Amino acid sequence: MFDHYPQWAREFAQKYLSRTINQFILHGNVYDLVPLKRKKKSEFVRLKSFLSEEFFGARDFVIFYDRSSGIYFRDEQSRKDFNQALSGRDSLLGTDYANKLPKDPVRVFSLLEQYFRVRIDSKKSIALIIDYAETIVPMNEAGSTGSEDRTSMVYLSRWAHDPMFLAADFTTVLITENLADLNKTLVQNPYTDDIRMDIPDQQQREAFISHELPGEQFAELSSVPKRVVAQQTAGLNFVNLRSILFNARENKEKITHHRLSEAKKELIESEAYGLLEFIETEYSLDSVAGHAKVKEHLRFAVQALKNGRQDVMPMGYLVCGPVGTGKTFLVTCFASEIGIPMVKLKNFRSQWQGVTEGNLEKILGLLKAMAPVAVMIDEADAYLGDRDAGGDSGVSSRVFSQIATFMSDTRHRGRILWFLMTARPDLMPVDLKRQGRAEEHLALFAPHTREERLELFEVMKKKTGLKMTETYVPPVIEEGSKSFSGADMEAALTRAKFRAAAQGKEEVSPDVLDTALSDFLPPTYPEEIELQTLSAVIECTSRELLPERYREMDREEILNKIEELKLRVG
């Protein structure tokens, strides 16, 4: 009966037909088009059009409401009937609502309830669709809820469990993008059900492309096959996809891999309110100096994913090590080599009540739709918070719970790769580091052997674009008389280029390089660096991935040393 409906609408219909619930919350991808499969062709319509003309097409009256537009109707018949009922009320009470309807929720709901009761007595069927529901019953702590919000909650709750409304052919639909933006009392009400509308999958996107550019039109406007376009636009909804196709059609700009990639990044970053940032690099793991065992391990992961073996991948990685060892660079190079997009989570926290959870809900929904995707979280010990965090009305603990639950969903194994990076893994809650979340713990360390120092020097020469007047290896690098992390080496070589430029030279001479390396004094925090190093050693989940000098160290001794260092550095 509902086979031509999308999955969420079939779920909605089944719950409605159970006749036990008459109030529903639609959330997620609510401002997109709704796909409908007809016998001969597919159609794509706006959600409110779908609800009023298709889903509730047989209802006698379909009424819409939002704070900006006030009350409006599906058709002229519904409007006339409502105005007729209001005229009778106006004549009794001396009001003039028939000529000028209110827009505030309290007066609107009062009018609607009186109207509903009269029409339900007449055996009429009614659907009320409330858009931007988060502006009517927003997320608030119980003590800070305003009188208008509380009154609106009373009306909605009464319509959801009043036997008169339950027995009638009456339905209330609340539309919101993020479920977390709504008052939790309403969301958790046993008489209310929520239904998530997901971002279109690849098959639906391909059908939409065929609908928008039928026949030979697509081939004329794209140098990329239709199937590939549908595949590479993961994370975009129909409206986003339409803008790409419209641009190609109107501006006669062919769809290429590059244009598609740029448009997708721009649209997704916009959809995520700027809370997601795509990370790109021209480097691969070959550009990473040292860390030979870790690179070998990651290349096995690359091969597994390219062979379709998502089942052997960890749910996530914890990448730890002292500052300057190249954690962020390593992860970015890995994503480049595997050929999937990598995004970095930006600050989604807000001072406003409920906004933080709503932002995170939006981000996690996009990540699910974009899969496969890699997610980078830098300074994860500070970014993700803790289950026991306090002082912010429970926001941090709820955020932590949302992320932890999403990370442990095994359906995302091999499809959403989490990379949590930190120099202090000891400060991260065990809940995120345990097996089933960030399962694989990789530790990075500063170069120790001559081969590692030489490799780091050569890689950083290439990265900084340093040109030498002759082939030369500085003694300080050869002999290891001074320790350089990757960040230290990059900074020192950049200073050598600066000295050469001050002399009006493009190339760096051995004397200038030696002087720059000898003069360079990296900020020195020996106890902090030792604490970060030992924390990485104790955190690593593979003995094989540790440098030889750390493999046989007594772990009890390391733990005691870590506790001692923590006391000394405060």
Q: The CATH number of the domain where 226 resides is what?
A: 1.10.8
Residues 245 and 375 in one domain: no
Residues 217 and 333 in one domain: no
- The CA distance from 248 to 43, in Å, is 21
Residue percentage of the chain with pLDDT more than 70: 94
Say what the pLDDT of residue 386 is.
Answer: 67
Per-residue pLDDT of 357-372, as tens digits, reads 778 888 888 888 888 8
Domain boundary among 228, 244, 271: 271
Query: Is 36 part of a structural domain of the chain?
Result: yes
Residue 521 has pLDDT above 90, yes or no: no
Residues 251 and 157 in one domain: no
Query: Is 2 part of a structural domain of the chain?
Result: no
3-state secondary structure of 371: coil
Residue 179 has pLDDT above 70, yes or no: yes
Q: Residue 498's domain spans which residues?
A: 447-570
Residues 451 and 439 in one domain: no
Q: Is the peptide bond before 425 cis (omega within 30 degrees of 0)?
A: no
Query: Is 1 part of a structural domain of the chain?
Result: no
Say what the pLDDT of residue 276 is.
Answer: 85
Residues 407 and 295 in one domain: yes
Query: Is 229 part of a structural domain of the chain?
Result: yes
Burial of 25 (0-12, 13-18, 19+ CB in 10 A): buried
- In one-letter notation, the amino acid at residue 195 is I
**How is residue 297 annotated by DSSP?**
H
3-state secondary structure of 170: strand
Query: Is 324 part of a structural domain of the chain?
Result: yes
Residues 164 and 72 in one domain: yes
Residue 392 has pLDDT above 60, yes or no: no
Q: How confident is the model at residue 45 (pLDDT cuts 50, 70, 90)?
A: very high
Residues 40 and 153 in one domain: yes
Residues 401 and 314 in one domain: yes
- The CA distance from 295 to 288, in Å, is 8
Query: Is 55 part of a structural domain of the chain?
Result: yes
Residue 280 has pLDDT above 70, yes or no: yes
Say what the pLDDT of residue 89 is.
Answer: 73
Residue 353 has pLDDT above 60, yes or no: no
Flag the least confident range among 57-61, 99-103, 196-200, 489-493. Answer: 99-103
Could you give the number of structural domains in the chain?
4
Residues 223 and 76 in one domain: no
Residues 141 and 262 in one domain: no
Residue 209 has pLDDT above 90, yes or no: yes
| Highest averaged pLDDT of the listed ranges 10-19, 23-32, 245-254, 379-388 | 23-32
Domain boundary among 443, 467, 502: 443
Residue 143 has pLDDT above 60, yes or no: no
Residue 35 has pLDDT above 90, yes or no: yes
Displacement of CA 538 from its chain's centroid (Å): 31
Per-residue pLDDT of 522-562, as tens digits, reads 766 788 888 999 999 999 989 888 888 888 888 899 999 99
Residues 165 and 26 in one domain: yes
Per-residue pLDDT of 236-275, as tens digits, reads 999 999 999 998 888 888 898 888 888 888 888 887 777 8
Domain boundary among 232, 255, 271: 271
Q: Which residues contact 69 (CB under 8 A, 6 or more apart)?
A: 103
Residues 348 and 402 in one domain: yes
Query: Is 86 part of a structural domain of the chain?
Result: yes
What mean pLDDT comes out for the span 442-457? 88
- The mean of the pLDDT values for the chain is 87
Whole-number Cα distances in Å, 273 to 133, 145, 161, 170, 268 = 19, 26, 36, 36, 9
Say what the pLDDT of residue 271 is.
Answer: 79
Q: CATH number for the domain including 407?
A: 3.40.50.300
Q: Structure pTM?
A: 0.75
Q: Which of 357, 418, 405 is nearest to 134 (CA)?
A: 357
Residue 202 has pLDDT above 70, yes or no: yes
Please tell me which residue, 145 or 126, carries the higher pLDDT value. Answer: 126
Say what the pLDDT of residue 274 is.
Answer: 76
Say what the pLDDT of residue 98 is.
Answer: 66
Say what the pLDDT of residue 387 is.
Answer: 65
Query: Is 306 part of a structural domain of the chain?
Result: yes
